[in-house]
């Protein structure tokens, strides 16, 4: 019997689309061939120069309006933020002035529509089974955005693979643990399998702008939209200059064999290539996960490949129960959305300023965007303060106390400190910032109190400080 047959049976029983099944089969066949998805440093060249969006011409208002009528904004909203101790969609986390990521995204879209006097651009959320209900409920406070059910496209789920047998994991203790998310590369199978792609094309929608819901700097920029439309590229990726904070994130490269641009994620880097991967002077461009897609060209590519975008498989080794290290070893097969860069002839990349990349992956990131190091713009984007010149402060918060959002809320319960002039801040021990605390330069702060110290209001400049 074909080893994939049990997976197909399991996925069909779960109601997954043929597009989802075919996409997972592509990854599973790569696993069977013992492919690891690794991209060797010896097989790629760094990319040193790209067009920059600051050099793009202004767009006439009537041209922008015309393009908006042909555009959909898609936000990836499948994450729970479990690494930060959250149990609901991460996009529901309060960010600024009592507004969540989702609130600010809704306001961004409504601001655009108000400026154009219509319903353009279209808007979609790619939710997961874990985020759908909470997100739909939260959208009720923005009724003019549209029916929450019609704003949603559900991400698929895929079976975990038993590492010892390469069969579907059987875990009767908790059958839900037999499944895992397929990574944001699932967007292509979701668009096709849900019928959303055909529906958008039937309505004359040609351009999709895709970004993460936790990146509030990613707006529908008129210059970028016009550039993409005029470029005739089927696919484009926004990249920005890497900093020390991005050294482990996916970077742009050019493959020797066919000279195509590719994306290499950390999970695709062999241990012996780690130093080169993290060398930000060698690999200078970081994937922001802000992507532009020509939907008609996507449809053609899917049809040419039997309903698939042939994304490289990423093999993650986990345990069946993430909370039980003694449970059986499994493979979770994922794909990265940006890896489609290598799947389209003529795909492009463009450099954008750091302001278009302000995601929240940790409580340190959350503290930065709640601070005065970032500003909330009139069109409801969050971007770094101009004086930061694209360089966010680097925060290292004691994981023993502040890895989870509850711990961060204790730390800043009396006020978020002034980080405008802070280059790096290291916080060790249990403490709470008093109102009026300011950090300047490179500062380390330590508390030795088991109960937690109150950090007095003053400016803490370069050096180590005990509180």
What is the per-residue pLDDT for 163? 97
- Which pLDDT belongs to residue 392? 87
Q: Is the pLDDT of residue 170 over 90?
A: yes
* 454 pLDDT above the threshold of 80: yes
Domain match, 388 and 318 both: no
Chain mean position to CA 136: 20
Co-location of 205 and 80 in the same domain: yes
- Number of CB atoms found within 10 A of residue 129's CB: 14
Round to whole Å and give the CA distance between 189 and 333.
Answer: 15
Pairing outcome for strands 285-294 and 235-241: antiparallel
Q: Are residues 28 and 175 in the same domain?
A: yes
| Phi, psi (deg, nearest 5) at residue 263 | -115, 130
Q: Could you tell me if 193 and 92 lie in one domain? A: yes
Identify the pLDDT of residue 35: 84
DSSP-derived 3-state class of residue 395: strand
pLDDT band at 427; cut points 50, 70, 90: very high
* 378 lies in the same domain as 434: yes
Q: CATH code at 382?
A: 2.160.10.10
- At residue 37, the pLDDT reads 74
Q: Are 307 and 19 in contact (CB under 8 A)?
A: yes
Of 312, 337, 356, the one marking the end of a domain is 356
Q: Distances in Å between the alpha carbon of 78 and those of 46, 117, 206, 302, 414?
A: 31, 30, 24, 23, 32
Domain co-membership, 104 together with 169: yes
pLDDT number for residue 248: 84
107, 299, 329, 361: which is the annotated catalytic residue? 361
Cut 0.85: pTM above it: yes
Domain shared by 311 and 242, yes or no: yes
The rounded distance, in Å, linking the Cα atoms of 195 and 299 is: 11
Judge whether residue 116 has pLDDT over 90: no
> Which of 307, 332, 356 marks a domain boundary?
356
Does residue 349 sit in the same domain as residue 434?
no
Nearest residue to 432 (alpha-carbon basis) of 467, 459, 403? 467
Q: Is 361 a catalytic residue?
A: yes
| pLDDT of 36 above 80 | no
Same-domain check for residues 49 and 124 = yes
The model's pLDDT over 352-396, given as tens digits with 9 standing for 90+, comes to: 998 888 888 899 999 999 999 999 999 998 888 999 987 889 999
What are the residue ranges of helices labelled H in 69-195? 101-116, 132-138, 187-193
Q: In angstroms, rounded to a whole number, what is the distance separating the alpha carbons of residues 206 and 292?
A: 10
- Tell me the percentage of the chain whose pLDDT exceeds 70: 100
Last residue of a domain, one of 305, 338, 356: 356
CA 256 to chain centre: 27
pLDDT value of position 341? 95
> What is the CB-side half-sphere exposure of residue 370 using CA atoms within 13 A?
24
Residues 266, 147 within the same domain: yes
C-alpha R_g of the chain:
23
Strands (E), 57-204: 71-77, 94-96, 99-100, 122-127, 152-154, 158-159, 161-162, 179-180
Q: In terms of residue numbers, what domain contains 94? A: 5-356
Q: Please tell me the distance from the alpha carbon of residue 209 to that of residue 121, in angstroms, as a whole number.
A: 10
Q: Are 294 and 360 in contact (CB under 8 A)?
A: no
Is pLDDT at 245 greater than 80 in this prediction? no
One domain, residues 122 and 146: yes
The CATH number of residue 131's host domain is: 3.90.550.10
Total Cβ atoms within 10 A of residue 49: 8
Smallest CA-to-CA distance from 452 within 386, 406, 407, 405 is with: 407
Domain tally for the chain? 2
Cα–Cα distance for residue pair 73/54, rounded to 1 Å: 22
Q: Are residues 377 and 312 in the same domain?
A: no
60-84: average pLDDT: 92
């Amino acid at each position: 019997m074909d080893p994939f047959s049990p997976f197909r049976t399991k996925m069909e029983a779960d109601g997954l689309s043929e597009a989802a099944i075919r996409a997972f089969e592509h990854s599973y066949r790569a696993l069977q061939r013992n492919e690891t998805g690794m991209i060797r440093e010896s097989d790629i060249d760094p990319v040193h120069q790209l067009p920059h969006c600051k050099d793009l011409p202004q767009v006439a208002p009537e041209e922008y309006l015309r393009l908006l009528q042909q555009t959909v904004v898609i936000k990836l909203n499948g994450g729970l933020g479990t690494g930060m101790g959250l149990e609901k969609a991460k996009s529901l986390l309060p960010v600024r002035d009592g507004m969540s990521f989702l609130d600010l995204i809704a306001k961004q879209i409504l601001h655009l529509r108000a400026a154009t006097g219509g319903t353009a651009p279209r808007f979609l959320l790619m939710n997961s089974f874990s985020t759908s209900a909470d997100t739909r409920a939260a959208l009720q406070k923005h009724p003019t955005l549209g029916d929450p059910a019609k704003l949603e496209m559900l991400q698929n789920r895929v079976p975990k693979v038993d590492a010892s047998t390469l069969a579907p994991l059987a875990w009767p203790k908790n059958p839900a643990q037999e499944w895992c998310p397929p990574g944001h590369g699932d967007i292509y199978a979701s668009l096709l399998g849900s019928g959303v792609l055909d529906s958008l094309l039937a309505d004359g929608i040609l351009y999709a702008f895709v970004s993460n819901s936790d990146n509030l700097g990613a707006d529908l920029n008129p210059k970028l939209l016009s550039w993409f439309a005029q470029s005739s590229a089927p696919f484009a990726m926004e990249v920005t200059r890497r900093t020390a904070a991005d050294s482990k994130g996916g970077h742009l490269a050019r493959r020797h064999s066919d000279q195509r641009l590719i994306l290499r994620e950390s999970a695709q880097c062999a241990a012996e290539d780690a130093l080169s991967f993290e060398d930000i002077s060698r690999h200078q461009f970081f994937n922001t996960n802000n992507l532009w897609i020509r939907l008609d060209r996507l449809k053609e590519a899917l049809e040419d490949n039997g309903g698939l975008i042939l994304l490289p498989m990423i093999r993650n080794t986990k345990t069946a129960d993430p909370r039980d290290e003694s449970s059986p070893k499994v493979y979770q097969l994922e794909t990265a959305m940006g890896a489609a860069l290598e799947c389209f002839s003529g795909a492009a990349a463009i450099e954008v300023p750091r302001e278009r990349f302000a995601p929240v992956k940790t409580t340190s990131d959350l503290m930065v965007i709640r601070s005065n190091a970032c500003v909330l713009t009139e069109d409801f984007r969050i971007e770094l303060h101009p004086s930061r010149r694209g360089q966010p402060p680097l925060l290292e918060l004691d994981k023993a106390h502040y890895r989870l959002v509850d711990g961060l809320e204790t730390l800043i319960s009396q006020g978020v400190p002034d980080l405008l002039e802070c280059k790096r801040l290291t916080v060790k021990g249990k403490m709470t910032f008093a109102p009026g605390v300011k950090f300047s330069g490179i500062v380390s702060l330590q508390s030795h109190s088991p109960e937690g110290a109150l950090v007095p209001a003053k400016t803490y400049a370069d050096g180590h400080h005990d509180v």
